[in-house]
C-alpha cells in the first residue's frame, strides 16, 4: 500500500523536551513527548507516505497571527532563564511560571513586562503545564514551518510538534506554544484564498484558534470536542454560545460532546460541522487533526476508533484542498495507526 499524502516535518520537532508538566501542583511525566513525532513519522513512512522536510520560513506571517512580543518571548525565555542561573543554581531545569497577569490582578493597570525573568515567565503563558527547555524554540519554529506546506497541494499533512491550537494571539498554554494551524490558515489567505474553513477534531477545544479568528469572517472555525463544562481543558472556552463577534459573528461553531462519545456521536457532529463549512464555499480547509479523541488516549474520555478517524479523514478532505495539521494524540502504541487511518481516509477523496 502506498499512502499518497506528503508528510511535512522538521527534525527540529524532536528537540523540544518539556520534561513533564506541572499539573495541579505536581510535576508529572507528561505525555507530549518527542517519541510522538517519531511514532507518527515511522508509521506514515511504513504506509508509503513520502516524508518531506519542512522548508524554513521567515517570521512575517507568524508575527501577523501572533503578538510579536509573544514570539520574542518564546525565542528568548530559555536563554534568559538559563543566564539567571535557574537550571544550574536552583535546580529549575525548565521554565515554569508562577505568577500570571490576569485581568483581575491588573485591574486596569497597564500590562508591564517585569525585568526579572521569573516574574515575566508568566507574561504570555496561562498555565503551569507548558514548560520551556533548551531545545523548545527550535522545535516550536520547526512545527510552524512544517505547517507551511507548499501552497497548491490538494492534500498534505504537517507533522507539527509541539501542537498549537491552544495558543491565542498573545498567550500560550495547553502544551502548545505557537498556533501552527492559524499560521497555516493565514498563509493560505496570503496565497490568494478568500475564505478558509478550519475544522478542529482534536479531543479538546482549540481555544487559541477560535480566539485568533473570533472577529474575522475570512476564517471560519468549527470544533468538536469534549465538553469543557464536564470538567475538561480548556475549561474557559469551547461552549456552544461562542459564535464569533463583530464581523466574525456566526463564523465560529462549537459542538461540545459528552464524555464517552464514540464514533456515532462524533461523526454525526463532524457531519454537521462539514455541512456548515461546505455552505461557506471555502477555498481551502485546515484540519486540526488531534488523534486524542481515540478510545485508547489517556488525555480524553472520547471513544473514537481507527475506523472513525478514517471516515473523518474522508469527510474533511471532501470539502476542498486540505492541509492536515497534527495536534494532540498521546497513546504511543496506537498513534501511528490512527494517523494512517485518517490520512488514508482523506486520500480516498483526493484521488477520486
Ligand atoms: Zn487535545
Alpha carbon distance, N-terminus to C-terminus of the chain: 17
d(CA 169, CA 178): 9
d(CA 199, CA 287): 5
The region, left, alpha or beta by phi > 0 then psi within -120 to 50, assigned to residue 307 is alpha
Contact 168, 234 (CB under 8 A): no
Three-state SS sequence of 269-338 = HHHHHHHHHHHHCCCEEEEEECCCCECCCCCCCCEECHHHHHHHHHHHHCCCCEEEEECCCCCHHHHHHH
Residue 166 among the catalytic residues: yes
d(CA 82, CA 236): 32
Q: Give the distance (Å) from ligand 1 centre to CA of residue 338.
A: 14
Q: Give the distance (Å) from ligand 1 centre to CA of residue 150.
A: 26
pLDDT of res. 350: 63
pLDDT at 322 over 70: yes
d(CA 289, CA 345): 13
Assigned C-alpha cell, 65: 497571527
Q: Give the distance (Å) from ligand 1 centre to CA of residue 203.
A: 5
Q: Phi, psi at residue 100, to the nearest 5°?
A: -125, 130
- pLDDT tens digits, residue range 66-124? 999 999 999 999 999 999 999 999 999 999 999 999 999 999 999 999 999 999 999 99
pLDDT of res. 351: 57
- pLDDT tens digits, residue range 173-198? 999 999 999 999 999 999 999 999 99
Q: Phi, psi at residue 195, to the nearest 5°?
A: -140, 135
Q: Give the distance (Å) from ligand 1 centre to CA of residue 112.
A: 31
The region, left, alpha or beta by phi > 0 then psi within -120 to 50, assigned to residue 199 is beta
Q: Give the distance (Å) from ligand 1 centre to CA of residue 324.
A: 15
Count H helices, E strands: the chain? Answer: 12, 10
Banded model confidence at residue 344, pLDDT cuts 50, 70, 90: very high
User: Which of the residues 66, 166, 204, 225 is marked catalytic?
Assistant: 166
Q: Give the distance (Å) from ligand 1 centre to CA of residue 167.
A: 12
Contact 346, 309 (CB under 8 A): no
pLDDT of res. 153: 77
Which residue is associated with the grid cell 512580543? 69
CA distances from 242 to 205, 236, 288, 297 (A): 12, 11, 19, 27
40 contact partners, CB below 8 Å, separation of at least 6 = 159, 326, 329, 335, 336, 339
Q: Give the distance (Å) from ligand 1 centre to CA of residue 165.
A: 9
pTM, whole model, 2 decimals? 0.97
DSSP annotation of 347: H
Contact 225, 238 (CB under 8 A): yes
CB-count exposure of residue 170 (10 Å: 0-12, 13-18, 19+)? middle
pLDDT of res. 202: 98
pLDDT of res. 181: 98
Q: Give the distance (Å) from ligand 1 centre to CA of residue 315.
A: 20
Banded model confidence at residue 135, pLDDT cuts 50, 70, 90: very high
Q: Give the distance (Å) from ligand 1 centre to CA of residue 37.
A: 15
Q: Give the distance (Å) from ligand 1 centre to CA of residue 35.
A: 17
Summary mean pLDDT of the chain: 97
Amino acid at each position: 500500500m502506498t499512502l499518497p499524502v506528503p508528510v511535512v516535518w522538521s527534525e527540529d520537532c524532536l528537540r523540544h523536551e518539556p520534561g513533564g508538566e506541572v499539573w495541579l501542583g505536581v510535576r508529572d511525566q507528561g505525555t507530549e513527548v518527542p517519541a510522538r513525532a517519531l511514532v507518527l513519522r515511522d508509521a506514515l513512512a511504513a504506509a508509503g507516505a513520502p516524508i518531506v522536510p519542512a522548508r524554513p520560513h521567515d517570521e512575517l506571517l507568524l508575527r501577523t497571527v501572533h503578538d510579536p512580543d509573544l514570539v520574542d518571548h518564546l525565542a528568548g525565555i530559555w536563554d534568559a532563564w538559563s543566564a539567571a542561573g535557574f537550571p544550574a543554581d536552583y535546580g529549575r531545569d525548565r521554565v515554569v511560571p508562577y505568577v500570571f497577569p490576569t485581568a483581575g490582578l491588573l485591574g486596569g493597570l497597564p500590562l508591564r513586562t517585569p525585568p526579572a525573568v521569573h516574574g515575566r515567565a508568566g507574561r504570555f503563558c496561562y498555565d503551569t503545564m507548558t514548560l520551556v527547555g533548551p531545545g523548545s524554540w527550535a522545535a516550536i519554529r520547526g512545527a510552524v514551518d512544517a505547517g507551511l506546506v507548499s501552497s497548491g497541494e490538494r492534500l498534505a499533512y504537517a507533522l507539527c510538534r509541539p501542537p498549537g491550537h491552544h495558543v491565542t494571539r498573545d498567550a500560550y498554554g495547553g502544551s502548545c506554544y505557537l498556533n501552527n494551524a492559524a499560521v497555516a490558515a493565514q498563509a493560505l489567505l496570503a496565497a490568494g484564498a478568500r475564505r478558509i474553513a478550519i475544522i478542529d477534531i482534536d479531543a479538546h477545544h482549540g481555544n487559541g484558534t477560535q480566539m485568533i479568528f473570533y472577529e474575522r469572517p475570512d476564517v471560519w472555525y468549527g470544533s468538536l470536542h469534549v465538553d469543557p463544562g464536564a470538567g475538561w481543558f480548556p475549561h474557559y472556552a469551547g461552549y456552544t454560545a461562542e459564535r464569533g463577534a463583530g464581523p466574525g459573528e456566526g463564523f465560529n461553531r462549537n459542538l461540545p460532546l459528552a464524555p464517552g462519545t464514540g464514533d456515532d456521536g462524533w461523526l454525526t457532529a463532524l457531519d454537521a460541522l462539514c455541512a456548515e463549512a461546505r455552505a461557506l464555499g471555502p477555498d481551502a480547509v485546515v484540519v486540526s487533526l488531534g488523534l486524542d479523541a481515540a478510545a485508547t488516549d489517556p488525555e480524553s474520555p472520547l471513544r473514537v476508533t481507527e475506523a472513525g478517524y478514517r471516515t473523518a479523514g474522508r469527510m474533511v478532505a471532501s470539502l476542498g484542498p486540505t492541509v492536515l495539521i497534527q495536534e494532540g494524540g498521546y497513546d504511543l502504541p496506537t498513534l501511528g495507526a490512527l494517523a494512517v487511518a485518517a490520512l488514508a481516509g482523506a486520500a480516498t477523496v483526493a484521488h477520486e
